[in-house]
Amino acid sequence: MQTLTLTGTPREMGAQHGEAVRDRIRELFARRMENAIEQAHAYGGVTIDEAGLLALARGCLPFVRAYAPEGYEELEGIAAGSGQSIERVWAMNALTDLRDVAAFHHPKDPPDAEGCSSFIVPASRTARGAPMVGQTWDLSTSNLPFVQLVRRIPKDAPPTRTLTTVGCLSLIGMNDEGLAIGTTNLRTVDAKPGVGYLDIIHAALRETSVDAAVERIVSAPRAGAHYYYVMDRTGAAAAVECSATDAEVVRSGDTYVHCNHVLCEKNKALEAKGTPVASTYHRQERLAALLDRDDLTEGHLFEFLADHDGRPDSICRHDFNGITSNAGVVMSPTEGRFWAVHGPACEGTWAPFEAHP
């Protein structure tokens, strides 16, 4: 898996990023537009073209600039470095949010496709007394070649290690102060123009505590629904389930699993027609059962994210309705450790992603 190291101001880091993967950004943009157009029709019966999606993106950019100016500057740098417009770069970053804004005001029964499975494991459940968080990251199979690791060393914020795709902001990651964050996708009918989930994660990684990161998530003018998990160096953790217009924070103190259906009561009325579907129910139950022990190590978590029970509804996904586990991540914030695998966890090799010396 390619690793980029970016340094400097947000704009400088973005320009380095855009220049380093210029051709691949162009190719990923084309694939993601195709994915969004297909999914808008499949999930909402909506016919929309690239011009329509870019118009939606332009309507979202003022929200991004106001909410996350540093992230916006980095997007500007990526655009300049890759020779793309900023709305094209942001649209590539915000594929699922754009799809949701286009589709979920007209919901229909969607295909069983979404796939991310995430966990929070407290210190009491681990062999070393070190809490851990992580997930599979499942998206269109065609996106698999574009997954990369990015190490950012900004001038005015903690350095970060993230897993993402070429030309994109932070998706799953941890900063050098031990703040870790990740996400799974949800479907609600209140999607609207606003900021994307990568904008939110990128902004939250500038913080150093769970409380501050949760505030960044909850206060965001969100475009779409997502679930976020957060843990900091003290081991404090939070689960934040968001629609576009509402959010609920859970601090359970025990193992917490979240896949792709709404768990919080006040968000259930907003869940799009046809969800949840079979795979997210199965993955939720299966991962919770696997994690129900008190001697967990990262090795157990690597194994669980490769689990095929109930296939094709399994945690580890292989081109099911066009969706594959593109990567997996396990993070131990109290220890500052980060492991990642490219592709389905059953096929790839887990490797540590070290902090900048």
Phi, psi of 65 (to 5 degrees): -65, -40
The structure tokens listed for 111 are: 């295909």
The structure tokens listed for 340 are: 């990642």
What is the model's pLDDT at position 106?
A: 52
Torsion angle in degrees (nearest 10) through CA of 338, 344, 346, 350: -20
Q: How far is CA 101 from the centre of its chain?
A: 17
Q: Is the model's pLDDT at 255 over the cut of 60?
A: yes
For the chain, what are the domain ranges?
Answer: 7-103, 118-350
Quick: pLDDT tens for 157-175: 999 999 999 999 999 999 9
Q: CA 61, CA 54: separation in Å to the nearest integer?
A: 11
Ramachandran quadrant class, 265 (left: phi over 0; alpha: psi -120 to 50; beta: rest) = alpha
Cβ atoms 208, 179 nearer than 8 A: yes
Quick: pLDDT tens for 37-78: 887 777 767 788 889 899 999 999 999 999 999 999 999 999
Write the CATH number of the domain with boundaries 7-103: 1.10.10.2120
Q: What is the DSSP string of 70-121?
A: HHHHHHHHHHHHHT--HHHHHHHHTHHHHHHHHHTTS-----S-----EEEE
Model pTM score: 0.95
CATH 3.60.60.10 fits 118-350, yes or no: yes
**159: cis peptide before it, omega within 30°?**
no
What value does the mean pLDDT of the chain take? 93
Q: What DSSP state is assigned to residue 235?
A: S
Q: What average pLDDT score do residues 15-33 get?
A: 95
Quick: pLDDT tens for 325-357: 999 999 999 999 999 999 999 999 999 999 877
**Residue 207: which H helix or E strand, with range?**
none
Q: Tell me if residue 198 falls in helix, strand or coil.
A: helix
Strand arrangement of the beta sheet that strand 323-332 belongs to: 256-258, 118-121, 132-140, 323-332, 337-342, 351-352
Q: Where are the alpha helices (DSSP H) in the chain?
A: 10-20, 22-44, 50-67, 69-82, 86-93, 95-103, 197-204, 210-218, 265-268, 278-290, 298-304
